[in-house]
């Protein structure tokens, strides 16, 4: 990590190089490591794409200084973009479906961004549509489009992937990550498969989400409570490439919630529901490698814990499952 060695000029210098920490409930023979993305300045994995995408768009001239980024986002992406935008002379506007956590929206506003809410029932599709309308009405505005922009994947290919391989001296058997836009998993998977084409790659989604349909699985669509991952319409998740994935694992709200509480109590890890889901899936994959049900090039599994539970205290994340999920 960079943060302790020397004084830094900007908070942007603290994006990335997050710690990789063992998940102790996993089998000893096949350790699971989680990258703790809450160590980023905006406390989530999305600071990586905020910085990377704005820098590349400015370099390419797609975005000009004094211009505006307008992005449909569930929240963490807005915070990531708002931090980078604020430091790089760019305005930021975010379109957020109402159901997402109020903490995230407060943080975006505190960072100087404008937040516009769309009705929950219109889903991310409604937010995407509204963002494009606004961009047409605003001068020098760009919609970075995290759901379809290859720079989202590239950010993780250039940063998250190499950091993992450096930390483990290349000894990576499987990569497991939750998929919202799927940028995190796709970037890491692309990097991993270049290091070893047999790296086992697992996508994680909530039960009720429809990523599994992309590989022909017959799954039921339902609402889910896990925040930040999953899709009700895989055609909007343009970055997801089933060819880079060996398995899609579904995790129930209850299993993710039990695990996020266990991670706090037993492992001192204050992470949220998408991390709980990732941890459940990563532990299952480690067990399969141990039991020789899955071939992997090394006896280790790496996953991502995208953000912290503190952002969801108002939603009762540490209350009973019934209270949290109601």
CB of 185 to ligand PMP, least distance (A): 6
Is 70 or 153 the residue whose CB approaches ligand PMP more closely?
A: 153
Of 41, 42, 144, 183, the one binding ligand PMP (CB under 6 A) is: 183
Q: List the strands of the sheet with 141-142, edge to edge.
A: 114-118, 91-97, 68-72, 141-142
Residue 118 near residue 85, CB atoms below 8 Å: no
Residue 208 near residue 221, CB atoms below 8 Å: yes
List the catalytic residue out of 38, 101, 212, 274: 274
Is 272 or 285 the residue whose CB approaches ligand PMP more closely?
A: 272
CB of 73 to ligand PMP, least distance (A): 8
Is 74 or 249 the residue whose CB approaches ligand PMP more closely?
A: 74
Is 49 or 93 the residue whose CB approaches ligand PMP more closely?
A: 49
If one asks whether residue 276 binds ligand PMP (CB under 6 A), the answer comes out as no
φ, ψ dihedrals at 154, nearest 5°:
-60, -35
Q: How far is CA 222 from the centre of its chain?
A: 21
Of 301, 307, 315, 324, the one binding ligand PMP (CB under 6 A) is: 307
Is 249 or 289 the residue whose CB approaches ligand PMP more closely?
A: 249
Residue 96: helix, strand or coil by DSSP?
strand
274 is catalytic: yes
Residue 24: helix, strand or coil by DSSP?
coil
CB of 59 to ligand PMP, least distance (A): 22
**Residues 121 to 180: which contact ligand PMP by CB under 6 A?**
178-180
Is 67 or 157 the residue whose CB approaches ligand PMP more closely?
A: 157
CB of 44 to ligand PMP, least distance (A): 6
Q: Which residue is nearest to ligand PMP (CB)?
A: 228
46 is catalytic: yes
| 167 Cβ contact partners less than 8 Å away, ≥ 6 residues apart | 20, 33
Of 40, 118, 149, 274, the one binding ligand PMP (CB under 6 A) is: 274
Q: List the strands of the sheet with 200-206, edge to edge.
A: 20-23, 32-36, 301-305, 174-178, 200-206, 247-251
**Residues 42 to 71: which contact ligand PMP by CB under 6 A?**
46
Q: Please, where are the H alpha helices in the chain?
A: 46-60, 76-87, 102-110, 123-137, 150-155, 161-167, 183-195, 253-267, 273-290, 321-325
Binding letters toward ligand PMP, positions 205-244, x by CB under 6 A: ----------------------xxx---------------
Map 125-154 to HEC letters: HHHHHHHHHHHHHCCCEECCCCCCCHHHHH
**Residues 92 to 111: which contact ligand PMP by CB under 6 A?**
none
Residue 221 near residue 214, CB atoms below 8 Å: no
Rounded CA-CA distance 294/289 in Å is 5
Looking at 161-243, which runs of residues are DSSP E strands?
A: 174-178, 200-206
Of 14, 145, 184, 269, the one binding ligand PMP (CB under 6 A) is: 184
Contacts with ligand PMP by CB under 6 A: the residue count is 17
List the catalytic residue out of 38, 44, 46, 273: 46
Count, in order, helices (H) and strands (E) of the chain. 10, 10
CB of 229 to ligand PMP, least distance (A): 5
Is 242 or 297 the residue whose CB approaches ligand PMP more closely?
A: 242
Residues annotated as catalytic are: 46, 274
Query: What residues line the site for ligand PMP (CB under 6 A)?
Result: 46, 74, 76, 178-184, 227-229, 272, 274, 306-307
């Amino acid at each position: 990590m960079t943060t302790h060695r020397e004084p830094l000029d900007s908070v942007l210098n603290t994006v990335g190089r997050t710690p990789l920490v063992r998940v102790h409930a996993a089998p000893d023979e096949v350790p699971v490591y989680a990258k703790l993305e809450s160590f980023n300045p905006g406390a989530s994995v999305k600071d990586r794409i905020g910085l990377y995408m704005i820098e590349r768009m400015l370099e390419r001239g797609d975005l000009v200084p004094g211009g505006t980024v307008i992005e449909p986002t569930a929240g963490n992406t807005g915070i990531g973009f708002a931090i980078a935008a604020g430091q790089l002379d760019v305005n930021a506007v975010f379109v957020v479906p109402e159901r997402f956590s109020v903490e995230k929206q407060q943080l975006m506003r505190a960072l100087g961004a404008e937040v516009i809410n769309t009705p929950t029932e219109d889903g991310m599709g409604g937010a995407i549509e509204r963002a494009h309308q606004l961009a047409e009405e605003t001068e020098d505005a760009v919609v970075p489009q995290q759901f379809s922009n290859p720079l989202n994947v590239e950010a993780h290919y250039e940063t998250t992937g190499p950091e993992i391989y450096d930390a483990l001296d290349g000894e990576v058997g499987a990569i497991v990550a939750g998929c919202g836009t799927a940028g995190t998993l796709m970037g890491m998977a692309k990097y991993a498969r270049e290091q070893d084409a047999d790296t086992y790659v697992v996508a994680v989604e909530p039960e009720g989400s429809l990523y599994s349909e992309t590989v022909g699985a017959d799954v039921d669509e339902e609402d889910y409570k896990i925040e930040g991952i999953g899709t009700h319409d895989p055609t909007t998740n343009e970055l997801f490439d089933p060819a880079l994935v060996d398995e899609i694992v579904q995790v129930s709200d209850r299993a993710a919630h039990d695990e996020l509480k266990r991670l706090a109590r037993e492992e001192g890890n204050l992470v949220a529901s998408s991390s709980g889901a990732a941890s459940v899936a990563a532990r299952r994959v480690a067990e399969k490698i141990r039991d020789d049900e899955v071939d992997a090039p090394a006896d280790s599994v790496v996953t991502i814990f995208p953000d912290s539970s503190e952002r969801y205290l108002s939603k009762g994340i540490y209350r009973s499952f019934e209270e949290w999920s109601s």
